[in-house]
Amino acid sequence: MRRPRRTRDDLRDQLIESALVEFAAKGFDGASTRSIAERVDAHQPQINYHFASKEALWDAAVAHLFDQLLNAVGEVAPLDGADDDIEAGLAFADALRRFVRFAADHPELNRIMVHAGTEDNDRLHRMLERHVRAWYEITTTVWTRLRDAGIAAPIAPSNVYWVIVGAASLPFVNAPEVRVLTGTEPNARAWVETHADGIVATLLPGLTTARTDR
């Protein structure tokens, strides 16, 4: 059978998805554009056609990943617009659960962040300013409100972002470790939901009490 013809847009999207796998596994410096092309049965010159440079491919891949995150978790700004603290806490808990699910399905997010965050360079600054800072600022803003209301755990806003990212992501990045130590499958939906519930219970211990007392 003749293979369906692949359009230029299809190939570009496939190269971006392939680049996410390669950059997540090897970091920017270790990633091979040849390997990225070969993974989707393409040729290296086709990368050069779609992307001006390896840096441009990295930027496109990271933008695609954060677009997926936004689609999965939702807009971050409305979290701070809830009328009362309990509504804000419920919205935050929902966002946490969505983030855990995304981290389970896309472990490359944390892997790329770890690779990129170990070196202070223009690539890191582009990623932070374009994609991360908005998440960080709304997280710390809402967290301050919830902590002051007695809903959130007594963790400093300047620390809680990394508490959340680490707790949500690490079991899925280190899935083989989880399997060996626990004998369970961290990518199973039940495991993911239990993990999300645990994070919510740990970080928002006052939410249940606040709802009961209303």
All structural domains of the chain with their residue ranges: 62-213
Helix axes 85-105, 189-203, angle to 10 degrees: 140
pLDDT exceeds 90 at position 7:
no
Model confidence at 52, pLDDT cuts 50, 70, 90, reads very high
If you search the block for the tokens 């919510």, which residue do you land on?
Answer: 200
Q: What average pLDDT does range 11-29 have in this prediction?
A: 95
Model confidence at 94, pLDDT cuts 50, 70, 90, reads very high
Q: Is 169 left (phi over 0), alpha (psi -120 to 50) or beta?
A: alpha
pLDDT exceeds 80 at position 9:
no
Q: Which amino acid is at 147?
A: R
Distance CA 125, CA 133 (A): 10
Instruction: Please tell me the predicted confidence (pLDDT) of residue 6.
Output: 56
Instruction: Please tell me the predicted confidence (pLDDT) of residue 208.
Output: 75
Regarding the domain with residue range 62-213, which homologous superfamily does it belong to in the CATH classification?
Answer: Tetracycline Repressor, domain 2 (1.10.357.10)
Query: Are 201 and 96 spatial neighbours (Cβ–Cβ below 8 Å)?
Result: no
Instruction: Please tell me the predicted confidence (pLDDT) of residue 116.
Output: 95
Instruction: Please tell me the predicted confidence (pLDDT) of residue 1.
Output: 46
pLDDT exceeds 50 at position 212:
no
Model confidence at 77, pLDDT cuts 50, 70, 90, reads low
- pLDDT tens-digit profile of 126-172? 999 999 999 999 999 999 999 999 999 999 999 999 999 999 999 99
Phi, psi torsion values for 125, nearest 5 degrees: -65, -40
Instruction: Please tell me the predicted confidence (pLDDT) of residue 96.
Output: 96
Work out the mean pLDDT of the chain and round it to a whole number: 91
Burial-class residue 25 by CB neighbours within 10 Å (0-12, 13-18, 19+): middle
Phi, psi torsion values for 82, nearest 5 degrees: -65, 145
Distance CA 129, CA 116 (A): 13
Instruction: Please tell me the predicted confidence (pLDDT) of residue 44.
Output: 87
Question: 2 or 175: which carries more pLDDT confidence?
Answer: 175
Instruction: Please tell me the predicted confidence (pLDDT) of residue 83.
Output: 74
Q: Among 193, 154, 145, which residue's Cα sits nearest to residue 171? A: 193
Query: Are 58 and 64 spatial neighbours (Cβ–Cβ below 8 Å)?
Result: no
Neighbour tally for 138: CB within 10 Å: 18
Q: What average pLDDT does range 18-33 have in this prediction?
A: 95
Burial-class residue 17 by CB neighbours within 10 Å (0-12, 13-18, 19+): middle
* Residue 177: partners with Cβ closer than 8 Å, 6 or more residues away: none
Distance CA 183, CA 122 (A): 42
